[in-house]
Chains A and B, each alone.
Chain A
Amino acid sequence: MLRKRRSAVAAKRHPRAQLFAALGDQTRLSLVARLCAGQPYSISQLTRRSKLTRQAITKHLRVLERAGIVHSVRTGRESRFQFDPQPMEELKHYLDFVSQQWDHALSRLKSFVED
């Protein structure tokens, strides 16, 4: 119960629209792809492999951070960004669940019209 409440609170803090918007961008998706292996990266490390400026990368990381997909951890003078799988897992579970509801409803429809 406690666990459920906490995840509901986390979910409310990161509304779906924000999550979808955050993921609906090629640069951010590539940052997510890089970070989702688990290892945290600094902005410099992420900029080095990109054509974009440090400023642009930072801006994209902040969008991901607001959506809860990444969070920054400060080590010394530098911020490192780490992937947080929870919001995406919640989203996936939710869509899987809705999808399953439709499967059940449509199988009832099938029995209904084929009888």
Chain B
Amino acid sequence: MPITNDRIEKRIELKAPVSRVWRALTDHREFGEWFRVKLGGPFVAGQVSRGQITYPGYEHLKWYAVVQKMDPERLFSFTWHHSHDPNVDPSKEPTTLVEFRLEKTATGTLLTVTESGFENLPAARRAEAFPMNDAGWTEQMKNIEKYVAQTS
């Protein structure tokens, strides 16, 4: 990944129809299952989505996003307010843009995820929220891997 690039792009081939993937992305309960967040209500374009992170060890963090586009079975996007302090109004927090693009393939769906706008974030922001050098964090990652292996 070029160091001057302020964007992360992921492509993943899913063996499920586009309609199924669209539901997993845009139904707030289904999204919450795999993204690890408990959302208060459905995603609506132009509206705020609030919730609570359920990622083990980070349950104190709030989820706050503004849904940008919901172009059925093609594009779902939101601006993600990176909240790290429960006492700070998340609407004032800096954002990145997350976009999910779906394409039908012979075997299912090609999903492309991009997250951009990292230049908006103060340098220490996510490092504080997710202490990557912390031994506890490494432990959490192992737990999650175990959990995924068991349930998939």
Chain A interface (Cβ < 8 Å from any Cβ of B): 4, 8, 11-12, 14-17, 19-21, 23-24, 29, 88, 90-99, 101-115
Indicate if the CB atoms of B33 and A102 lie closer than 8 Å: no
- The answer to whether A15 and B123 have CB atoms under 8 Å apart is yes
Say if the beta carbon of B88 comes within 8 Å of chain A.
no
B33 and A20 contacting across the interface, CB-CB below 8 Å: no
* B141 neighbours in A (Cβ, 8 Å): 104
Given known pairs A92-B3, A99-B8, the reply for A109 and B34 (CB within 8 Å) is yes
Q: Is the CB of A98 within 8 A of B126?
A: yes
B3 x A97 contact (CB < 8 A): no
Task: Give which listed residue, B115, B128, B133, B152, contacts A98 with CB less than 8 A.
Answer: B115
Q: B4 an interface residue at 8 Å Cβ cutoff?
A: yes
> Contact: B8 with A112, CB < 8 Å?
no
Which residues of chain A are near B123, meaning CB under 8 Å? 11-12, 14-16, 19, 90-91, 94
B interface SS class: mixed
* A89 nearest CB neighbor, chain B only: B3
Decide: B20 and A113 in contact? CB cutoff 8 A. yes
- A97 and B132 within 8 A (CB): yes
Interface size on B, residues (CB 8 A): 42
Are A11 and B124 touching (Cβ within 8 A)?
A: yes
* A106/B113 in contact, CB under 8 A: yes
Is B106 an interface position by the 8 A CB rule? no
Q: Is the CB of B119 within 8 A of A112?
A: no
Q: Is the interface of A mostly helix, strand, loop or mixed?
A: helix
Closest to B133 in A: A4
Q: Which residues on A sit within 8 Å (CB–CB) of B34? A: 105, 108-109, 111-112
Q: Mark B34-76, 1 if CB is under 8 A from A, else 0.
A: 1110000000000000000000000000000000000000000
Please pick, from A88, A106, A112, the residue contacting B12 in the complex, using a CB distance under 8 A.
A106
Asked whether B15 lies within 8 Å of A106 as measured between CB atoms, the reply is: no
Complex Cα gap A20–B119 (Å): 7
**Is A113's CB under 8 angstroms from B21's CB?**
yes
- Residues of chain B within 8 A of A111, CB atoms compared: 34, 148, 151-152
Q: Is B111 an interface residue (CB 8 A)?
A: yes
Chain A residues with CB under 8 Å of B12's CB are 106, 109-110
Among B122, B126, B130, B152, point to the contact of A15 (Cβ < 8 A): B122
